């Protein structure tokens, strides 16, 4: 949501957050990042979600509410001296954006509602409802193709660094599963207490604050090997975003919306309206992006997340035109269609700036964690969608490593330790024969926690290889053009009383 005077407030209390924009260069380079904030949302039945930021290097926290920045927000500590930076290689890519930036992720849905019913009255006077979306089919209309600096998704060390950023969103620094990043304050962040249930993660920035990364936590649930206070909100939003029809799996399930119309029929308009009205994480994700963009008005903002966090990162990025990386994320294209976000053919997959990374033994991004005997069914998750926006880097762990399809391979630690750790056989520029020795030494899935004292080299990564093998070996990214979600279902607008 818009924050009326947040830009001027940021300039007053956060002067070092407004760097002089760097001169664009087409040459790839390596950027170093350090943590600057932990972020979370606090939920209440009596007030809108409240966004909280916590300093990475001091016990200070400050608050941004749903619509306005607090006048008492303290100035943040400069963290230029953080040790052991996280290194990411970059490349330039073209992203298609609307010329007039939408105020909210939900602005696209509001615009579609108004196009469907021009006489629909405004429920509020907010700019989110008044924004007009560009024509999806008119490439020469209110769109612009912008060249931006983005992470180099062909570089394996870049993928590992981003995966570690998303992994730390689940845990606190004293945890054995925390990946050391240096310069981090161990004080308990506000909103990260054991009973806190909000969407959370971290914010990273390069030394000039010209590139900022927002990381988002994924689902915390017993079926995935970890519980936690966010599990209730996570499950509700998972079932709303990624089920075919309101989590109507069978007669025994409690649905998250009332759109089921009998048989294999589901109300399309009802689904779209439910997603706008009830998806809390869509609203707070927009709030987070808008606040970070106001705090860093000249920065290039990237998003990254694992599982639910990866899907939210992609939806936010698709709404505003930002680079995003989703790791083992459920298919979010179904939710994007229901929110009327820009999709092909009007929005080419290669111009979304979105890259998904997942492997074939993980049933969640593959869309096969379904059925009575699945772990998702047992835990009450209806993760039925499988199609992703943007482009996908797919690791065939079933064929190459002999893994069985198992929901326990969904853990972010498995991706870091067992999938990204070595160059992938047959990846672009590398033959399978070159890696037979490496592939024969790979272990089956199983958590290998990083530990707090894992040896690192001077660059902060744990790969001792030099040259191409250290950075290459990533499968080619491809779009999921032929993917189809919910093929058994028929979506339309029916009168349920006549069924």
CA distance 10 to 299: 13
Instruction: Kindly report the backbone phi and psi dihedral angles of residue 49, in degrees, each rounded to the nearest multiple of 5, phi listed first.
Output: -55, 140
Instruction: Kindly report the backbone phi and psi dihedral angles of residue 235, in degrees, each rounded to the nearest multiple of 5, phi listed first.
Output: -65, -45
Full DSSP string of 191-241: T-STT--S-EEEEEE-TTSSEEEEEE-----GGGT---TTHHHHHHHHHHH
3-state DSSP assignment of residue 143: strand
Q: How far is CA 42 from CA 23, 105, 186, 373, in A?
A: 38, 20, 20, 35
CA distance 313 to 307: 10
Can you say whether residue 149 is alpha, beta or left, with left for phi > 0 and alpha for psi between -120 and 50 degrees? beta
307 is catalytic: yes
Q: Two tokens at 43?
A: 């939920």
Active-site residue among 107, 215, 293, 307?
A: 307
Parallel/antiparallel/unpaired status of strands 200-205 and 490-492: unpaired
Task: Kindly give, in sequence order, each residue whose CB lies less than 8 Å from that of residue 99, ignoring residues fewer than 6 positions away.
Answer: 134, 142, 143, 144
Helices and strands: H and E segment counts in the chain: 15, 14
CA distance 224 to 221: 6
Full DSSP string of 382-451: -------SSEEEEE-HHHHS-PPP-GGGGSHHHIIIIISSSPPTT-TT--SGGGHHHHHTPPPS------
Report the sign of the C-alpha dihedral through residues 401, 407, 408, 410, in that order. positive
Q: Which residues are catalytic?
A: 307
């Amino acid at each position: 949501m818009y924050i009326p005077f947040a830009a001027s407030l940021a300039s007053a209390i956060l002067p070092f957050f407004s760097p002089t924009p760097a001169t664009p260069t087409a040459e790839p380079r390596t950027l170093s990042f350090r943590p600057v904030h932990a972020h979370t949302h606090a939920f209440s039945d009596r007030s809108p979600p409240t966004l909280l930021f916590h300093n990475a290097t001091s016990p200070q926290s400050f608050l941004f509410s749903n619509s306005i920045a607090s006048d008492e927000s303290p100035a943040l500590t400069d963290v230029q001296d953080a040790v052991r930076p996280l290194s990411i290689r970059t490349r330039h890519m073209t992203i298609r954006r609307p010329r007039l930036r939408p105020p909210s992720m939900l602005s696209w849905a509001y615009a579609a509602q108004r196009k469907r019913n021009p006489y629909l009255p405004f429920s509020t006077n907010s700019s989110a409802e008044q924004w007009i979306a560009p024509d999806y089919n008119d490439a020469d209309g209110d769109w612009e193709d912008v060249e931006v600096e983005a992470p180099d998704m062909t570089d394996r060390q870049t993928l590992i660094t981003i995966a570690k950023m998303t992994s730390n969103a689940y845990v606190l620094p004293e945890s054995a599963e925390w990946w050391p990043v240096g310069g981090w304050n161990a004080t308990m962040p506000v909103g990260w207490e054991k009973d806190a249930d909000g969407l959370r993660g971290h914010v990273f920035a390069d030394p000039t604050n010209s590139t900022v990364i927002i990381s988002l936590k994924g689902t915390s649930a017993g079926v995935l090997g970890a519980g936690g206070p966010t599990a209730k909100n996570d499950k509700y939003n998972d079932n709303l975003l990624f089920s075919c029809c309101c989590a109507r799996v069978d007669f025994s399930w409690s649905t998250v919306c009332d759109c089921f119309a009998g048989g294999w029929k589901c109300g399309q308009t009802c689904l779209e309206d439910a997603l706008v009205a009830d998806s809390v994480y869509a609203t707070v994700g927009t709030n987070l992006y808008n606040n970070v963009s106001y705090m860093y008005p000249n920065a290039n903002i990237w998003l990254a997340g694992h599982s639910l966090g990866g899907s939210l990162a992609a939806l936010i990025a698709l709404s505003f035109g930002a680079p995003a990386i989703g790791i083992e994320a459920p298919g979010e294209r179904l939710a994007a269609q229901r929110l009327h976000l820009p999709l092909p053919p009007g929005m080419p997959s290669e111009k979304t700036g979105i890259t998904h990374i997942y492997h074939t033994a993980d049933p969640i991004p593959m869309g096969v964690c379904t059925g009575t005997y699945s772990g998702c069914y047992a835990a009450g998750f209806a993760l039925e969608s499988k199609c992703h926006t943007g482009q996908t880097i797919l690791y065939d762990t079933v064929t190459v490593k002999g893994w069985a399809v198992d929901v326990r391979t969904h853990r972010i630690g498995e991706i870091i330790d067992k999938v990204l750790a070595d160059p992938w056989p047959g990846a672009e520029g590398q033959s399978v024969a070159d890696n037979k020795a490496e592939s024969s030494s790979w272990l089956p899935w199983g958590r290998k926690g990083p530990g707090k004292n894992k040896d690192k080299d001077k660059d902060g990564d744990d790969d001792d290889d030099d040259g191409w093998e250290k950075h290459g070996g990533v499968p080619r990214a491809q779009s999921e053009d032929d993917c189809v979600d919910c093929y058994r279902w028929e979506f339309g607008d029916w009168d349920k009383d006549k069924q």
